[in-house]
Chains A and B, each alone.
Chain A
């Protein structure tokens, strides 16, 4: 323990220097020098790994291992440059300290391993054959203590140490090819064999991870068992609290009772599920195996590095997950997640802002009748989080928009100078007035008189015979009450009317809407489509940032379809062409790519990640004019890169397998004048290629240019250059008068 005290102090000091202001939460960022894993070219990594292939093996085995390294390095590289992987931050450093502790007696092994954090809510960790351990934020968010995290890392160490990933691949090849024991096996048998092998490796990782590194680490010996419980329920949010609608009820907006489920769906996770086709043993099997190891083991500590650090990292992970849920359009989950955060840590601006973003975008999707794209059918959700899915499905357009306005105004009221709050309020108010055609006069100024209603309901409870007159009056009053329940949201702004900011902005928006309608504005909007080649954009833009272009070469005839080395080469070439052709049209293009930044440029690394996540969310919105949830972080980037415009482009090329060869030969022998054409057709390879180019305005998310070019040719230099040039000239040229 003593030897770790300095580390713990250093860790705490490092945390404090990067301490989060939770109310103004900033996305998780990488820190320090960028590791080579991120910047080194894929081809170099692949060449280095294949040098480890033993020459004593048979040719087929060497070939299989070579294939493995070529594929795995490619996919690992893709993950590293996805923008979702971070290094050097508090969470990564914390995990590194745990790893130091576990491997204190194996410095050589420790030196080979690197830990990076993956920004995803999924509860998982992954070890690669080249020594990287990826730990998901979801895992950090749900682990109960440091000891559980340590066990997970121990498990991953064994995957690396015992070469499980490579062995799994080799075995899969043998099974797939029906070699040795698997000769004559049918498809079902092969699946079972694959599953069995994989499960055996998982059990080995549990067992050896415990025995080699965890048992004598000083950690709580019950942790491995409890980890299994966490994994069993990992598909649920980090807590299971009954949702309180009051978290959304601002102003005088009260959610009707029938908008909420009386009981949410039960949790059906079963630890003894059928794992016959699964890669992992079921929880029960794993627990039983572990119990066999733990039978005489007791004691240990839940925290050895620092409980405070663990809780800090966990809170970071949970706050980041709220942002990730927004990015991926899981708004109902984001709302429930923020509700849990408020219960756990107290409500703050960031949680409220996240919920405001979720509600505003839900309203936008609802206005476009596409809410189903960002919600899940509540019947497929278990547990308390089902409530928010159900709730959102119950809203119609006007009340959901009213809720968005109420909520965002409540936030703005508390943070009047906050640009994000302002923007959300403006947008939600705009949609309420322009799209839903609601006017200030539609909303009530006074609260409903509930006293009279209460007295009536008390009187109703008394069983008595009344006159026809009284009965009919009551019936009529009841009908009026039902009507007013449908329009419950009209009372939402009762408390806001005395606030001049609210009143003035509502009236102003109303005025703008009236003017717009007089000028022929149609809120339903018309989506214009334009033909592929004739659109003349002429945007007149002088500077853009281009973020991580993509290039993929595929071959239908190849085993796994991807031409890894070729893709990497062509990507580098594509980047150069973009820069060269930008110069040609005098467009100032800054290329932001992980492979062309220096190790010390970690700020740029973080900027690229933020841009990528913005772009990905924007693309996910497709034609819906939703707000990209990271908009509040873009202001700084726009200033830093001195442009409002971001380009995102890529190219795919697929070599297609020749179809119907025998048929073609037969008919061309019969119709022999066609023979030369058939020979030409069979000799000349068939390709399909696809190029995309987006240009977005970071200020409002507008897609100024969204081009998809599909062509049945190869990706020759001339073709690609021609397409790139066309896009760039459209960006640069000013409209002709």
Chain B
């Protein structure tokens, strides 16, 4: 049997075999449901659409905290292993590309419109669906330290993005364009470490770290130290297919960095 098949078999067989065991779960309660907040500082990407200075779109973004929301359901299959299902929902913003080769001269170049102005940062929404297992290393599931492995899918949706062509250095404006929103899917994988505790036999709290990989955004991620991206917006072209795709790619890049490393804090219930 190929190693991967063997691993999959083990992953499936172990929980099934151990269902016959007595007393997995916390005091026999096998299910938990939890809200997790994934947090990490963001230095070059905004977390709100608001732009402080209307005339500036250069990446003069203040540091903020990325927040991702997850609902996690857990089923204690054995004393050490639990199965988890996770649904993530996240709305954030990202920086539109600001220049230096990313901007093509506007369509109305003959009128001198060589710059653009935006009122809001582009908005993106992510919906992620994943499943995995947790292995508890010290205590009986769902208590104590654990290692978690997840596989899933993420949907990146971009909202309509509007901009205005202007003359460089002035507010003399031309046409307003809107690049339409779009959606894309991609696989994700994650590894996490954490600790869960239970208070008064009902309330569950957890904390730890999560490392996720959304590979479809790697080429367009805006890392902590640089603002360069691979995707480009052609501001003279407006709502073209390329622009819609590139906008979505930029969002994917943003998501890749956003989910790469996070502190996770959770609160929930033991059922």
- Tell whether, in the assembled complex, residue B23 and residue A719 are in contact, meaning their CB atoms are under 8 Å apart: no
Q: B80 at interface (Cβ–Cβ under 8 A)?
A: yes
- Tell whether, in the assembled complex, residue B26 and residue A736 are in contact, meaning their CB atoms are under 8 Å apart: no
Q: Could you tell me how many residues of chain B have their Cβ less than 8 Å away from some Cβ of chain A?
A: 21
- Tell whether, in the assembled complex, residue A533 and residue B79 are in contact, meaning their CB atoms are under 8 Å apart: yes
- Tell whether, in the assembled complex, residue B26 and residue A718 are in contact, meaning their CB atoms are under 8 Å apart: yes
Q: Residue-by-residue, is B5-46 near A (CB-CB < 8 Å gives 1, otherwise 0)?
A: 000000000000010111100111000000000000000000
Q: A570 at interface (Cβ–Cβ under 8 A)?
A: no
A730→B21 CA distance, assembly (Å): 10
Comparing A292-300, A355-363, A721-729, the segment that makes contact with chain B is: A721-729
Known: A533-B80, A534-B79. A722 touches B139 (CB 8 A): yes
Q: B201 at interface (Cβ–Cβ under 8 A)?
A: yes
For A719, list chain B residues within 8 Å (CB).
Answer: 139, 143-144
For B145, list chain A residues within 8 Å (CB).
Answer: 713
Q: B197 at interface (Cβ–Cβ under 8 A)?
A: yes
Q: A581 at interface (Cβ–Cβ under 8 A)?
A: yes
For B28, list chain A residues within 8 Å (CB).
Answer: 585, 725, 729
Q: Which of A706-732 contact B (CB under 8 A)?
A: 711-713, 716, 718-719, 721-723, 725-726, 729-730
Q: B176 at interface (Cβ–Cβ under 8 A)?
A: no
For B27, list chain A residues within 8 Å (CB).
Answer: 581, 584, 721-722, 725
Known: A533-B80, A713-B144. A721 touches B22 (CB 8 A): no
Contact of A725 among B18, B23, B78 (CB under 8 A): B23
Closest-by-CB residue of A relative to B261 is A673
Closest-by-CB residue of B relative to A735 is B22
A711→B136 CA distance, assembly (Å): 12
A704→B265 CA distance, assembly (Å): 41
Q: Which of B136-186 contact A (CB under 8 A)?
A: 138-140, 143-145
Q: Residue-by-residue, is A460-504 near B (CB-CB < 8 Å gives 1, otherwise 0)?
A: 000000000000000000000000000000000000000000000
Q: Residue-by-residue, is B120-144 near A (CB-CB < 8 Å gives 1, otherwise 0)?
A: 0000000000000000001110011
Interface centre among B23, B26, B138, B143 (most CB of A within 10 A): B23
Q: B267 at interface (Cβ–Cβ under 8 A)?
A: no
B135 → A minimal CB distance (Å): 11
For A534, list chain B residues within 8 Å (CB).
Answer: 18, 21, 78-80
Q: Residue-by-residue, is B71-83 near A (CB-CB < 8 Å gives 1, otherwise 0)?
A: 0000000111000
- Given A536-B21, A726-B140, A733-B23, 19 other A-B residues pairs in contact with their CB atoms under 8 A: A533-B80, A533-B140, A534-B78, A534-B80, A536-B20, A581-B27, A584-B27, A585-B28, A711-B139, A713-B138, A716-B197, A718-B198, A719-B143, A719-B144, A721-B201, A722-B26, A725-B27, A726-B79, A729-B22
| Residues of B near any A CB (own CB < 8 A) | 18, 20-23, 26-28, 78-80, 138-140, 143-145, 197-199, 201
Q: Pull 28 A–B residue pairs with CB atoms less than 8 Å apart, ordered by A.
A: A533-B80, A534-B78, A536-B20, A536-B21, A585-B28, A711-B138, A713-B144, A713-B145, A716-B197, A718-B143, A718-B198, A719-B139, A721-B27, A722-B27, A722-B139, A722-B140, A722-B143, A723-B139, A723-B140, A725-B23, A725-B28, A726-B23, A729-B22, A729-B23, A729-B28, A730-B22, A730-B23, A733-B23
